[in-house]
Amino acid sequence: MKLQHYLGGLEGLGPVSVETRVFVEEWEKRIFGIHTAMMALSPQLPLPATPSTFRTVWTWADLRKGAEAMNPFDYFKFRYYEKWLGGISAYCIANGYITEEELEARTAEYSADPDKPLPQGSAEAPNGLTIDQRVERYLAEGDSPKRDVDIPPAFQTGDAVHIRNVPSIAHTRLPGFLRNRSGVVECVYPGTYGYLTDTGTDGVGAPMPVYCVRFAADDLWPGNTEPNVTLYADLYATYVAPAA
């Protein structure tokens, strides 16, 4: 099991951070922009082609999978965008866009001269969109997981349900603290929803209904939570079974 799949309810962590800034270091903005551009240029999206040489799929699922694969001590040790920097660099190396040696050498250059300007890049002669236009279009249009597939939901609002303990390996959308717990369907979202990748034995990817399921906190952590707390989670149908 991966600790990252079981964060909800973990104890002994000390006070929360109340830092309200999004970026706490200037460089964090750059890696956020790189990630978002790669998502926008990812070839599975129904957007016009650009001159970009990016040719492999990059979605939230890839970023999340990387973070979930980390050593759990490192996961807590490194800040959010430090994890992104590690994961995105590793992906670009693994997919042959850059080499480790190039990245090390260029890092050394910018370490020696942090103000050295970025390269300008070559002029684009697009048939469709420019790279930057496609990025803006992705942000404006999004990438809805709603699918045009009709699968009747097995449960209705008010039904008692049991949450399965599916074998999640690399990636999951089922929070660990809900596994083997009982809840009540709060609502059934209209239609069916895919996920960004196929999570294998974990079970999401193909279109399926999604339920909002309600849990009493005292059922999740008996005798070890606060009174009058209700927790709601959006759960793909594959995670939801009839109440025993």
Contact 5, 168 (CB under 8 A): yes
Question: Which of 80/165 has CB closer to another protein?
Answer: 80
24 burial type by CB count under 10 A (0-12 exposed, 13-18 middle, 19+ buried): exposed
Residues 14-33 that bind another protein (CB under 8 A): 14-22, 24-33
Q: Which residue has the tokens 């050593």?
A: 71
For the packed helices 80-94 and 60-68, what is the interaxial angle rounded to 10 degrees? 110
144 touches another protein (CB under 8 A): yes
- Distance between CA atoms of 187 and 234, rounded to whole angstroms? 9
Question: Which of 17/150 has CB closer to another protein?
Answer: 17
Distance (Å) of CA 34 to CA 30, 31, 37, 125, 135: 6, 5, 5, 21, 11
Residue 130 CB, shortest distance to another protein, in Å, is 8
Question: Which of 16/94 has CB closer to another protein?
Answer: 16
60 touches another protein (CB under 8 A): yes
145 touches another protein (CB under 8 A): yes
Question: Which of 55/201 has CB closer to another protein?
Answer: 55
92 touches another protein (CB under 8 A): yes
Near another protein by CB under 8 A: residue from 42, 47, 62, 64: 64
How many residues in the chain? 244
221 touches another protein (CB under 8 A): yes
Residue 243 CB, shortest distance to another protein, in Å, is 20
Task: Give me the residues paired with residue 160 across strands.
Answer: 184
158 touches another protein (CB under 8 A): no
Residue 146 CB, shortest distance to another protein, in Å, is 7
Near another protein by CB under 8 A: residue from 1, 44, 49, 74: 74
- Distance between CA atoms of 224 and 9, rounded to whole angstroms? 10
Q: Which residues contact 130 (CB under 8 A, 6 or more apart)?
A: 50, 51, 124
Q: Which residues contact 149 (CB under 8 A, 6 or more apart)?
A: 192, 207
Residue 94 CB, shortest distance to another protein, in Å, is 14
Question: Which of 101/150 has CB closer to another protein?
Answer: 101
Distance (Å) of CA 12 to CA 20, 79, 233: 23, 19, 24
90 touches another protein (CB under 8 A): no
Near another protein by CB under 8 A: residue from 1, 8, 43, 49: 8
Please report how many Cα atoms fall inside a 13 Å half-sphere around the Cα of residue 39, on the Cβ side. Answer: 19
From the list 47-55, 148-156, 157-165, the region that binds another protein by CB under 8 A is: 47-55
Residue 152 CB, shortest distance to another protein, in Å, is 18
